[in-house]
Amino acid sequence: MNRIADEKGNHVQDIFGEDVFNESVMMKRLPKKVYEKLKRAIDEGSELSPEVADTIAHEMKEWAMERGATHFTHWFQPLTGVTAEKHDAFISAPMADGRVLMSLSGKELIKGEPDASSFPSGGLRATFEARGYTIWDSTSPAFIRRDEGGALLCIPTAFCSYTGEALDQKTPLLRSMEAVNREALRLVRLFGNRTAKKVIPYVGAEQEYFIIDREKYLKRMDMVFTGRTLFGAAPPKGQELDDHYFGTLRPRIAGFMHDVNEELWRLGVPAKTQHNEAAPAQHELAPIHEMANVAVDHNQIIMQTLKRTATRHSLRCLLHEKPFEGVNGSGKHNNWSLVTDEGVNLLDPGKTPHENIQFLLVMTCILRAVDRHADLLRESAADVGNDRRLGGNEAPPAIISVFLGEQLEDVLEQLVSTGHAEGVKKSGTLYTGVSTLSDISRDATDRNRTSPFAFTGNKFEFRMVGSRDSVAAPNVVLNTIVAEAFRDACDELEAAGPEGFDNCVHDLIKRYAAEHQRIVFNGNGYSESWVTEAKRRGLPNLPSMVDAIPALTSERAVRLFGDFGVFTPKELTSRMEIKYETYSKDINIEARTMLEMFTKLLQPAMFKGARQLSDCVNSLKQAGIDTSVQLEILEELGELIREASSARKELLSAMKNAENCIGGRAQAASYRDNVVPAMEKLRKPVDRAEMLIDKELWPVPTYADLMFEI
């Protein structure tokens, strides 16, 4: 194995981005004019002529072939939750003499036509118009992926229906980036910035995951089919000692991480931080933040790389939000900020009064956005697996609130009560309108890990997202709701004119702070009392995915997404349908797996356990030895066998009822209300039986085997 530790540190610099068709490669290989045109297309969204596209495609192919690629693919993100690809060799039709040429045309680079009918469309696309298009996203660089199949040129693309409706994650993301760019530029212009050309959302997505042994994984039908354990008694030790968190990496894991990093660096993914997470066998990887669409693509690459590399190391990477009951699940922290092309972060408290006022307006606009559309933000993190995590005393509750930190909250409170703020806690004095906000230092406030949406110095961290999910959806929502808040503020500021500007900003900040103060919560988000308090404040609490989905098609959402051209009403309805369907299908697969595992593996083991005990009782009796203890356990086991058997029947009938439900929402609700509880009912007696039975008889690896023995 190739060990960086044995090599020079600058090895990383050598390999970083070597498999990426990035700017430096383009600059080197493309004719200057072509490069400039492509650059303009990337920066300004201008069209590429067919000749220019042909030249780029040709060079991209040459470069890819030099790096060993034989095939290319349009790499896209349909609404299946994973990426999709269809490989095409570079060969063109054989010539008369039987030889082939290798080619990639501009047309092939820009547009692909996968059959769209086999991807989820939520009714957007009838089979007679099955055609779908993948369209090159030139803002996210092409890259070469290597695996057992060789090297493959991956061209990031958006995926649309024949009639132009978005069938993927990327299209709405790009639209939302344009929306927030437009409105944020308006805002910075009003504050006197004449030079910025663009405001770009930046995203850093911290990824949590579990690593277990692959052999053991393959012995668990539940993990193979559903990604999580459907049965399993808690091990004697969980995460109570906190000894795993930030602990030294086990050698096998360290080796795995080494290879993950190396592969990611080759792909230009700035993997930066790695450490053990709270639960046994749980880890985290954080890359450095990048432009939102690149970060979203890179997060997909990270997830795929984790999985592929794990397999090579005879390990298995679990991305499910809750692979094990009783210990923490996994999420993804979506760090988000808005940065101009000149590098100014709008979420950075400024050093001058002028910047401070802009900062306070941006902050209060974000408060307004999150308060108005808390349901949408919650929905963007809705995922079948995440239902098992949110609100479970390990992850934020299903209630959206914003953590600002003591200092900022104090500023807002003063603004609301007196119209201006002075004597800011900890640091200096703040006046608004005409005055100074002393530099709000990054660490003026403690952290709050229980908040779903926390301000962390110069960015917001949205912590609800599930570990398996694309981070596209939360960023689509963030970009769009903030675009709306900026638009409303700019409308008022522009109407006030230059003379009225100072007063208008002051009034807006004060008004937004007062109107949306209810969304600010600095306390313990995991506590019961917060649930009660949030209810009193009128904040939505949407505990399950099924509760969250309707937010997508509310009148308010339709208007919001329509105003900014992010989703049409049809696209929203299709996403709603897909989500209900996904929920029902996922739970149905879990229930079927559970039944199969129970009837074929675990129930027989329970029978064997009972048999072993009764054999034991018989032989002891013959020897005249007291059998009361054995009989007691046998009775307990018998009771559990009966309980499990009747739970199995209940589950079967709950599944039948759910299958017969008509309509996406009704069916999903039936799965949630009847099938999920029936599954829990079956699990309980089986997990208790596991604790009573000889380990030799238990046919699947236990929690202790999976989490501790690696």
The answer to whether 274 contacts ligand ADP (rule: CB under 6 A) is: no
> CB of 461: closest distance to Mg ion in angstroms?
6
Q: Binding segment for Mg ion among 246-254, 329-337, 375-383, 493-501 (CB under 5 A)?
A: 329-337
Q: Which residue is nearest to Mg ion (CB)?
A: 333
Query: How far apart, in whole angstroms, are the C-alpha atoms of residue 245 and residue 284?
Result: 10
Strands 150-161 and 69-75: parallel
- Contact between 468 and ligand ADP by CB under 6 A: the answer reads no
Say which residues have a Cβ less than 8 Å from residue 126's Cβ, sequence separation at least 6.
none
Which element (helix H / strand E) includes 530? helix 528-537
Contact flag: residue 298 with ligand ADP (CB under 6 A): no
Residue 649: CB atoms within 10 Å = 11
Answer yes or no whether residue 458 interacts with ligand ADP by CB under 6 A: yes
Q: Residue 287, interface with ligand ADP (CB under 6 A)?
A: yes
What residue 286 binds from ligand ADP, Mg ion, none (CB within 5 to 8 A, per partner kind)? ligand ADP
**Sole window of 229-237, 252-260, 455-463, 676-684 interacting with ligand ADP (rule: CB under 6 A):** 455-463
Stretch that binds ligand ADP, among 1-9, 145-153, 332-340, 521-529 (CB under 6 A): 332-340
- Site for ligand ADP contains 286 (CB under 6 A): yes
Torsion of CA 343, 344, 347, 352, to 10 degrees: 150
**For residues 114 and 396, which CB has a smaller minimum distance to Mg ion in the complex?**
396
- Check binding of 463 to Mg ion (CB under 5 A): no
Contact yes or no for 378/497 (Cβ under 8 A): no
Instruction: Examine residue 335 and tell whether it contacts ligand ADP (CB under 6 A).
Output: yes
The reply on whether position 275 binds ligand ADP by CB under 6 A is: no
Write down the least CB distance from residue 457 to ligand ADP, Å: 7
User: Which of the listed partners (Mg ion, ligand ADP, none) does 337 bind, with a CB threshold of 5 to 8 Å by partner kind?
Assistant: ligand ADP
> Is there binding between residue 289 and ligand ADP (CB under 6 A)?
yes
Q: Does 345 bind ligand ADP (CB under 6 A)?
A: yes
Rounded Cα gap, residues 112 and 98, in angstroms: 27
Is 204 a binding residue for ligand ADP by CB under 6 A? The answer is yes
Name the DSSP class of 498. Answer: H
Tokens of 346: 């709008």
User: Looking at 21, 63, 136, 202, which residue binds ligand ADP (CB under 6 A)?
Assistant: 202
Tokens 């890990």 locate to 449
Judged by beta carbon, residue 105 or residue 458, the one nearer ligand ADP is 458
Burial-class residue 481 by CB neighbours within 10 Å (0-12, 13-18, 19+): buried
Question: Quick check: 332 binds Mg ion (CB under 5 A)?
Answer: no
End-to-end CA distance of the chain: 20
- Pick the stretch among 105-113, 330-338, 581-589, 622-630 that binds ligand ADP (CB under 6 A): 330-338
Give the tokens for residue 42.
């990337």
Token pair for 24: 């430096």
Asked if 674 and 546 touch (Cβ cutoff 8 Å), the reply is no
Instruction: Decide: is 333 part of the binding site for Mg ion (CB under 5 A).
Output: yes
**Closest-CA residue to 293 (of 185, 380, 177):** 177
Task: Evaluate whether 420 touches 414 at the Cβ level (below 8 Å).
Answer: yes
User: Per the structure block, which two tokens stand in for 73?
Assistant: 């693919």
Which of the stretches 332-340, 447-455, 551-559, 587-595 binds Mg ion when contact is defined by CB under 5 A?
Answer: 332-340
Residue 202 contact among ligand ADP, Mg ion, none, beta carbon within 5 to 8 Å by kind: ligand ADP
Which pair of tokens denotes residue 262? 């190396």
Going by C-alpha positions, the residue among 631, 633, 637 that lies closest to residue 606 is: 637
Under the binding rule (CB under 6 A), the answer on residue 206 touching ligand ADP is yes
DSSP string, 622-664: HTT---HHHHHHHHHHHHHHHHHHHHHHHHHHHHHHHHT--SH
CB of 534 to ligand ADP, least distance (A): 24
Least distance to ligand ADP, CB of residue 211, Å? 20
**580 binds, options Mg ion, ligand ADP, none, Cβ within 5 to 8 A by partner type:** none
C-alpha separations of 123 from 77, 165, 658, 659, 668 in Å: 18, 11, 21, 19, 17
Measured from the CB of residue 267, what is the shortest distance to ligand ADP in angstroms? 16
Residue of 261, 337, 407, 630 interacting with ligand ADP (CB under 6 A): 337
Closest CA to 709 of 82, 19, 217: 217
Residues within the interface to ligand ADP (CB under 6 A): 202-204, 206, 286-289, 335-337, 345, 456, 458-459
Residues within the interface to Mg ion (CB under 5 A): 333
